Amino acid sequence: MLSRRQVLSLAPAAAMLSIGGRAWAAPQRVIAVGGALTELIYELGAQGELVGVDSTSLYPAAATKLPNVGYARTLAAEGLLSLAPTMVVATEEAGPPAVLRQLESAKVPLHVLRAEHRFEGVLERTQRLGELLGRHREAAALTARLQADWAASRASVAKLAAGHRAPRVLFVLSNAANQVRIAGSATAADAMIVYAGAVNALGEAQGYKMLSPEAAIAAAPDVILATTQGVEATGGLESLLKLPGLAQTPAGQNKRVVVMETMELLGFGPRTPKALTTLAQALHAPSGTARAA
């Protein structure tokens, strides 16, 4: 185990590889903070340069075998520096700020990419990672493929959504403490719901909010959208539907619940086009049909 003094001495030396035009003279030692960034790095074929990832990096499965630096919002400088990175790539959600300042003090190049909840943001992150990792051709090819996949997905959504009322969807985050948070506007869940040709049942709220039973009933969602991890923490679908207020909604009464893996649904990474098609197919299924994606 390296001491704090040894850790701090390693990081500046490794960072020198990216100074003075010598960035590509030796393999990078990259830490990715954000599951979507990790997925993009794999898609670019640069996974060999990864030496660490955060706890949201669950896909592909190989990423889970890399050293884990913890949750993106609660990073620790010593855990990051112990891996002697030459570069840390993260989204704006990474923190706390004090840890990011410690990385800068240790002369570790930190690149913070915008965490936009729109498809164009996926393309921007792809291109930026291509620049940082010296994978320009791979980034161009991946961008072209993502654009084609997105166009096909959008066409599929338009076909699925035609001829009927847009379903009202309530996205819920839940845990074992019977607490429910919903996604209002300006969230990844809201963006995906709208992209899928549906209506966020509580879109007038801003960000993630605690949900009261009364608000759930008043929202009258046709479909409840949840994550695999959230459902597991609650104890399964039946337990989810017993959360305060949800059983009294049209979605609860008809047991219309769509469940998707968190980063696939909300990550806005390379799986987003496929995730949108999957989500739209589930949301626009015939009324009364329960679909778990």
Give the CB-side neighbour count of residue 188, counting CA atoms within 13 A. Answer: 21
Residues 92 and 189 occupy one common structural domain: no
pLDDT at 121: 96
Helical (H) or strand (E) element with 9: helix 4-15
Q: What is the dihedral of CA 90, 41, 149, 141, to 10 degrees?
A: 120
Residues 171 and 250 occupy one common structural domain: yes
Has residue 46 been placed in a domain?
yes
pLDDT at 17: 40
Residues 168 and 278 occupy one common structural domain: yes
**Cα(180)–Cα(284) distance, integer angstroms:** 24
Residues 83 and 171 occupy one common structural domain: no
Residues 168 and 95 occupy one common structural domain: no
Q: Look at residues 184, 240, 241 and name the one whose alpha carbon lies nearest to residue 210.
A: 184
Residue after which a domain boundary falls, among 84, 115, 146: 115
DSSP annotation of 219 reads H
Has residue 70 been placed in a domain?
yes
Residues 13 and 85 occupy one common structural domain: yes
Residues 109 and 177 occupy one common structural domain: no
Residues 80 and 181 occupy one common structural domain: no
Q: Domain containing 259 — which CATH number?
A: 3.40.50.1980
Report, as ranges of residue numbers, the positions in the chain whose pLDDT lies below 70.
Answer: 1-26, 175-179, 287-293
Has residue 103 been placed in a domain?
yes
Residues 183 and 262 occupy one common structural domain: yes
Q: Which two tokens stand for residue 144?
A: 């072209």
Q: Residue 76's domain spans which residues?
A: 4-115
What backbone phi and psi angles, to 5 degrees, belong to 147? -65, -40
Number of domains in the chain: 2
Place of tokens 């379903």: 167
Residue after which a domain boundary falls, among 115, 131, 153: 115
DSSP symbols for 65-134: GSPB---GGG--HHHHHTT--SEEEEETT---HHHHHHHHHTT--EEEEP--SSHHHHHHHHHHHHHHTT
Q: State pLDDT tens for residues 263-281.
A: 999 999 999 999 999 999 9
**Cα(216)–Cα(213) distance, integer angstroms:** 5
Q: State pLDDT tens for residues 82-131.
A: 999 999 999 998 999 999 999 999 999 999 999 889 999 999 999 999 99
**Cα(138)–Cα(136) distance, integer angstroms:** 5
Has residue 133 been placed in a domain?
no
Has residue 191 been placed in a domain?
yes
Residue after which a domain boundary falls, among 52, 81, 115: 115
Has residue 147 been placed in a domain?
no
Has residue 157 been placed in a domain?
no
Has residue 190 been placed in a domain?
yes
Residues 267 and 201 occupy one common structural domain: yes
